[in-house]
């Protein structure tokens, strides 16, 4: 049976951030994930987690000016020191929250930059991050973002993400599989899951197109969850779709699932 985590950066967004932990618990979730928790102090977040009685299963590493269009800094040659600081900050937050996974967004290749140079920086930065996080019992994830929505993102599909995993060669680095990004990149979601399942550290869901809740787009979520029942994956499935007031999660009931 799939285990679901509410992404409180995309769900319950009509409410203040620190209230969303309790709202997720009230909806039946035992776990939450977050994109960027860094506007709040670790102690504030930890208190909200404790009051709600939920587990934090994933946070993202600081990703530069995300609102301004940046999608991470790990591949940027002139920001290696900033990336190392981001690793330390993410590790401190993860430890404070008891969170065992940190996802790294790799970044956009700057205009005029040499792709291969950015790739080499990304590999070395991920090796550093994977080693640093391993010493604190935190697993590092890396996630491909589709090249349609993010045309300059350095890893725009699962094939390039698998290449990155191989070249980096760290036992503490795994892939994050977001079914929306896979479908938007033109991939067969079910076949991709089956093919890469042994490399995955986390799965996230939202429908395609639109990034809404399952059932609002064209993805076969009934088939997806049937497949997960037969695949060797015992991790969490993060609900990273956009819903300011997600209601009663009727899509789960329709698929005979529960948080």
Enzyme catalytic residues: 143, 240
In this structure, are residues 9 and 35 in contact, taking their beta carbons and an 8 Å threshold? yes
Give the separation between CA 11 and CA 69, rounded to whole angstroms.
21
Name residues whose C-beta falls within 8 Å of residue 208's C-beta, 6 or more positions apart in sequence.
179, 180, 183, 184, 217, 218, 219
CA distance 73 to 87: 11
The answer to whether residues 144 and 156 touch, using CB atoms and an 8 Å cutoff, is yes
List of residues 6+ apart from 82 with CB closer than 8 A: 64, 73
Nearest to 241 by CA among 201, 196, 210: 210
DSSP 3-state helix, strand, coil percentages of the chain (rounded to 5)?
40, 15, 45
Closest CA to 104 of 67, 144, 159: 144
Q: What is the CA radius of gyration of the chain?
A: 17
> Is 67 exposed, middle or buried, given 0-12, 13-18 or 19+ CB atoms closer than 10 A?
exposed
Give the span between the Cα atoms of 138 and 102, in whole angstroms: 7
């Amino acid at each position: 049976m799939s285990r679901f985590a509410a992404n409180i950066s995309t769900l319950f967004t009509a409410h203040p951030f620190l209230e969303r932990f309790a709202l997720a618990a009230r909806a039946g979730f035992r776990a939450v994930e977050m994109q960027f928790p860094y506007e709040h102090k670790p102690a504030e977040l930890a208190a909200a987690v404790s009051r709600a009685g939920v587990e934090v299963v994933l946070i993202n590493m600081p990703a530069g000016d995300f609102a301004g269009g940046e999608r991470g800094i790990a591949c940027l040659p002139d920001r290696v020191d900033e990336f190392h600081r981001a690793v330390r900050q993410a590790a401190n937050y993860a430890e404070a929250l008891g969170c065992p996974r940190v996802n790294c967004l790799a970044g956009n290749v700057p205009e005029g930059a040499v792709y291969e140079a950015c790739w080499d920086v990304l590999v070395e930065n991920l090796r550093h991050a994977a080693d640093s996080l391993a010493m604190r019992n935190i697993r590092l994830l890396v996630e491909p973002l589709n090249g349609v929505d993010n045309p300059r993102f350095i890893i725009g599909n699962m094939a390039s993400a698998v290449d990155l995993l191989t070249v980096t060669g760290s036992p503490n680095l795994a892939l994050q599989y977001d079914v929306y990004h896979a479908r938007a990149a033109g991939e067969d979601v079910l076949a991709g899951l089956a093919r890469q399942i042994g490399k995955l550290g986390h799965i996230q869901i939202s429908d395609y197109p639109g990034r809404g809740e399952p059932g609002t787009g064209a993805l076969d979520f009934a088939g997806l969850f049937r497949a997960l029942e037969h695949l060797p994956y015992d991790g969490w499935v993060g609900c990273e779709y956009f819903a300011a007031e997600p209601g009663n999660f009727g899509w789960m009931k329709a698929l005979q699932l529960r948080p």
